[in-house]
Chain A
Amino acid sequence: MLIKHVRARDPLSSEITPRAVFEGRRRLLKAAAAAGVWAFAPAGAKAAKPVRGEPIPNLAPWPKSLSEPPTGYELATTYNNFYEFGFDKEDPARHSKSFKPRPWTVAVEGHAEKTGTFDFEDLIKPHQLEERVYRFRCVEAWSMVVPWVGVPLGDVLKRLVPTAKAKYVAFQTVLRPEEMPGQRLPLLKWPYVEGLRLDEAMHPLALLTVGMYGERLPNQNGAPLRLVLPWKYGFKSIKSIVRIAFTETEPPTTWNIATPREYGFYSNVNPQVDHPRWSQAKERRLGDPFFSPKRPTLMFNGYAEDVAHLYAGMDLAKLY
């Protein structure tokens, strides 16, 4: 079992560097810069510090959080695949500043008793927000460790009361080409859509996420509402969700539409099934030293004990 249990005295990641302290440090740096101490530092090299989000109060720690130190905040918020904001990793942080994540409504449709349009806060409010430190593994063979803030997706879906016909759940990202420059280019089919089998969506690891690092989600990380599915490749964890639909048949998914040979419906992290472009056997943990070996990728990203039963009897080489 690779998931380590957090001891009661372990701090939340948001507590490791108190806000006032790092803000104080930053003020000091600014003062030093003004004093010309950094005269020889290149302009703008370290200047683009991210604007931190609003802290989220009353987070419950999650007993199964990883005890590994989380990837740095700056790194996790400046190296993103969110093609709606551009196709380079730095584009989402750069081009999402004018995106408005509030007010935000989510349309609930399909085979459920409670359908309609909900303010996303109303979907989340009845549940206790948890901070969960998960591994995050991209299909491009890099990975992070991120402290997410959210509620179990299954708990929210249960309150919507799916009917017997509901076999899958489909999700859709917002379509706002005026705020999302990537959506003005037809390089993927917009809006982005994703889907899960209902039992996957109900799995307690599936997190309906509203924050990270103890704060509201930054725009570039999928504000205000995204999925985090730690046993699947990152692109399954759809961002900026505006539609949740209970369906009877397997819903289409964006990357599968784009390149079916490369991206399947399930897209579970699996070191034994290679992607045509990337070996999935190992991964580059961001933040590791420049000269260091990659780390071995774990089956279901280390969550095999929790999720393997969902796929019992399936040929994972075919249903990738």
Chain B
Amino acid sequence: MTRLAKPIVFALCLLPLAWLAYRGWTAGFGAHPQEYVNRFLGDWALRFLLTALAVTPLRQIGNWPQLARFRRMLGLYAFFYVVLHLSSYVVATHFFDWAAIGKDILKRNYITVGMATFAMLTPLAATSTAGMVKRLGAARWKKLHRLVYLAGIGGVFHFFMMVKADWREPLLYAVILSGLLGWRVWRRARVKG
């Protein structure tokens, strides 16, 4: 069973994408398909990012050391959905209108934050292999990968700044993220003190 756990989680993480493809094939994406696809992928990018950030707290709270081996996969899936989300923005939302995209990045705060978040996650994905951990050295690698906390905050802010009036969903993500980061701060303080 434990041998199968990784492939099972790997397949589960592809379910949102499979569902998107199925819906596109059968029912279409509704009245504003570009927006639908972009939001769907953005939602899942954020969910995977928070799930990856939940691994360590769950592992420690639940005394569940086996969870650690899913962390890299979940983190990479978060990046995978971020890349798809960004691609849909370039290809579907703007249809390669680079001038409009450039202006968006400079002028639209939520786009600026979203791009910054993508920029933070890229080196983390690039250094996710065992070889890269070795090459960087564990201490430096760990330091670099603390960027994920900032990326989590960036992702939630990106969502928060996008909504016009209904901030309930981004608030939910903010609460979850605060819990995940707050727990780390609290534990660190307790261990030190």
In the complex, which residues 2-59 of chain B have their Cβ closer than 8 Å to any Cβ of chain A? Answer: 22-23, 26-27, 29-35
Query: Shortest distance in angstroms between B148's beta carbon and chain A's nearest beta carbon?
Result: 27
Contacts of B103 in A (CB 8 A): 279
Chain A residue total in the interface (Cβ 8 A)? 30
A90: nearest residue on chain B (CB-CB)? B30
Query: Shortest distance in angstroms between A130's beta carbon and chain B's nearest beta carbon?
Result: 26
Classify chain B: how many residues form its interface, as a range: 20 to 34
How many contacts between A and B, using CB within 8 angstroms? 68
Contacts of A291 in B (CB 8 A): 91-92, 95
Which listed residue (B22, B27, B97, B108) contacts A294, Cβ 8 A? Answer: B97
A8 beta carbon closer than 8 Å to chain B: no
Query: Shortest distance in angstroms between B123's beta carbon and chain A's nearest beta carbon?
Result: 29
CA of A293 to CA of B22 in the docked complex: distance in angstroms? 25
Q: Is B95's CB under 8 angstroms from A279's CB?
A: no
CA of A59 to CA of B35 in the docked complex: distance in angstroms? 35
Which listed residue (B22, B34, B97, B167) contacts A290, Cβ 8 A? Answer: B34
Q: Is A279's CB under 8 angstroms from B34's CB?
A: no
A37 beta carbon closer than 8 Å to chain B: no
Q: Is A282's CB under 8 angstroms from B100's CB?
A: yes
Contacts of A276 in B (CB 8 A): 107-109
Q: Is A187's CB under 8 angstroms from B34's CB?
A: no
Query: Shortest distance in angstroms between B160's beta carbon and chain A's nearest beta carbon?
Result: 12
B104: nearest residue on chain A (CB-CB)? A279
Query: Shortest distance in angstroms between A88's beta carbon and chain B's nearest beta carbon?
Result: 8
Q: Is A293's CB under 8 angstroms from B95's CB?
A: yes
CA of A259 to CA of B163 in the docked complex: distance in angstroms? 12
Contacts of A83 in B (CB 8 A): 165-166
Query: Shortest distance in angstroms between B19's beta carbon and chain A's nearest beta carbon?
Result: 11
Q: Is A284's CB under 8 angstroms from B34's CB?
A: yes
Query: Shortest distance in angstroms between A89's beta carbon and chain B's nearest beta carbon?
Result: 7
Q: Is A284's CB under 8 angstroms from B26's CB?
A: no
Which listed residue (A46, A258, A279, A293) contacts B108, Cβ 8 A? Answer: A279
B161: nearest residue on chain A (CB-CB)? A277
**Given contacts A258-B165, A294-B97, is CB(A286)–CB(B107) below 8 Å?**
no
**Given contacts A279-B108, A292-B95, is CB(A284)–CB(B165) below 8 Å?**
no
CA of A286 to CA of B104 in the docked complex: distance in angstroms? 21
B110 beta carbon closer than 8 Å to chain A: yes
Contacts of B162 in A (CB 8 A): 277
Q: Is B166's CB under 8 angstroms from A87's CB?
A: yes
**Given contacts A87-B166, A291-B92, is CB(A41)–CB(B31) below 8 Å?**
no
B184 beta carbon closer than 8 Å to chain A: no
Q: Is B110's CB under 8 angstroms from A277's CB?
A: yes
Contacts of B97 in A (CB 8 A): 282, 293-294
A281 beta carbon closer than 8 Å to chain B: yes
Contacts of B107 in A (CB 8 A): 274, 276, 279
B187 beta carbon closer than 8 Å to chain A: no
In the complex, which residues 270-296 of chain A have their Cβ closer than 8 Å to any Cβ of chain B? Answer: 274, 276-279, 281-282, 284, 286, 290-294
Which listed residue (A42, A79, A277) contacts B32, Cβ 8 A? Answer: A79
In the complex, which residues 106-128 of chain B have their Cβ closer than 8 Å to any Cβ of chain A? Answer: 107-110
16 CB-based A-B contacts, threshold 8 Å: A41-B26, A42-B27, A45-B27, A78-B30, A79-B32, A90-B30, A187-B166, A188-B165, A259-B164, A278-B108, A284-B35, A290-B34, A291-B92, A292-B95, A294-B94, A294-B95
Q: Which 5 pairs show the lowest CB-CB distances between chains A and B?
A: A79-B31, A45-B27, A87-B166, A75-B31, A293-B95
